[in-house]
Amino acid sequence: MTAPTSPAHQPAAIASDAGDALILVLNCGSSSIKFAVFNASHGEPQRTPLWSGKVQGIGGPTPAFDESGLGADGQPFQHKQAITLDAEHPHTASLTLIRERVVARLAGRHIVAVAHRVVHGGGKYEQPVRVTPQVVADLRSYI
- Say if strands 51-56 and 21-28 run parallel, antiparallel, or are unpaired: unpaired
CA 142 from centroid of its chain's CA atoms: 24
Higher pLDDT among residues 67 and 116, named by residue: 67
pLDDT value at position 8? 40
Rounded CA separation 94/9 (Å): 15
Q: Return d(Cα 63, Cα 32) in angstroms, integer.
A: 9
**pLDDT band with cut points at 50, 70 and 90 for residue 1:** low
Backbone torsions φ then ψ of 136, nearest 5 degrees: -60, -45
Q: Coil, strand, or helix at residue 34?
A: strand
19: pLDDT confidence band, cut at 50, 70 and 90?
low
Task: Say which residues have a Cβ less than 8 Å from residue 97's Cβ, sequence separation at least 6.
Answer: 3, 4, 55, 65, 83
Which strands sit side by side in the sheet containing 32-39, from one edge to the other? 76-82, 64-70, 51-56, 32-39, 21-28, 110-116
Quick: pLDDT tens for 117-138: 777 677 788 888 888 899 889 8
